[in-house]
Amino acid sequence: MIHKPLIIAVGSTNATKIDPVRAVFSHFFKNVKVVGVSVSSDVKDQPTDDDEMYTGAYNRAKNALDKVKGAQYGVGIEGGLHKYSYGWFERSLVVIIDKQGRIGVGSSGGLLLPNIVIKKIHQGKTLEEAVDELFGTTKIGEGVGMFGIFTNGVVTRSEGVKHGVAFALARFLHNDMGSVHLRGW
């Protein structure tokens, strides 16, 4: 007997986001089909706080879930910055929404950005544009990412996103723990 695949809709067409989603879901489920779709985050291109990142990831997950026929999960991944007392920190937030409206949230690791990068962002560039300009790369966010550049390849963008996806999916692996209080849920 052939079982229908578990369809996961990802709110992006970028392989550095789709591949980690496939890897994590395939770890827990046998027959997985991951579909990347272009959707709006409804936030600015360079989010500058955690709430905006959450909103963008939530919107991507919800819009992807609504757009892909038969999808059981929607996944949204939104990278961005957040200013702390010690400086500007960059990471990605991951939101997973299932057909019942339950939400899981996770994040990648992150790192403190050098002042030269922040200066370029304050001048209107996105993180990708700033890193590409400083390192002579092109569309670094579709490759090893800023994480890969700054860690000399030890942690790539996909590897960082994979952690965030696993952390967000953990909520669905332990439903007996009850709910958490999230905006939008």
The verdict on residue 34 lying in a domain is: yes
Distance between CA 93 and CA 143 in Å, rounded?
18
Which residues on adjacent β-strands are paired with residue 168? none
Task: Give the chain's length.
Answer: 185
Is 139 among the domain residues? Answer: no
59 belongs to a structural domain? yes
Give percent above pLDDT 90 in the chain.
89
Handedness of CA 117, 144, 67, 173 (dihedral sign): negative
Question: Mapping DSSP to helix (H, G, I), strand (E, B) and coil, where does residue 80 land?
Answer: strand
Q: Give dist(CA 33, CA 93) in Å, integer.
A: 22
| 141 neighbors 125 (Cβ within 8 angstroms) | no
Q: Which residues contact 12 (CB under 8 A, 6 or more apart)?
A: 18, 36, 37, 38, 39, 60, 77
pLDDT in tens, 17-65: 999 999 999 999 999 999 999 999 999 988 999 999 999 999 999 999 9
Count of domains for the chain:
1
In a domain, 102, yes or no: yes
Query: Does 170 reside within a domain?
Result: yes
Residues of the domain holding 40 = 6-111+157-177
Which backbone phi and psi does 20 adopt, to 5 degrees? -65, -35
Residue spans of alpha helices (H) in 50-150: 50-67, 115-122, 127-135, 145-150
Torsion angle of the four alpha carbons 107, 55, 153, 37, in this order, in degrees rounded to the nearest 10: 110
Please write the tens of the pLDDT for every residue from 61-108.
Answer: 999 999 999 999 999 999 999 999 999 999 999 999 999 999 999 999
Q: What is the pTM of this model?
A: 0.92
Provide the CATH number for the domain around residue 163. Answer: 3.90.950.10
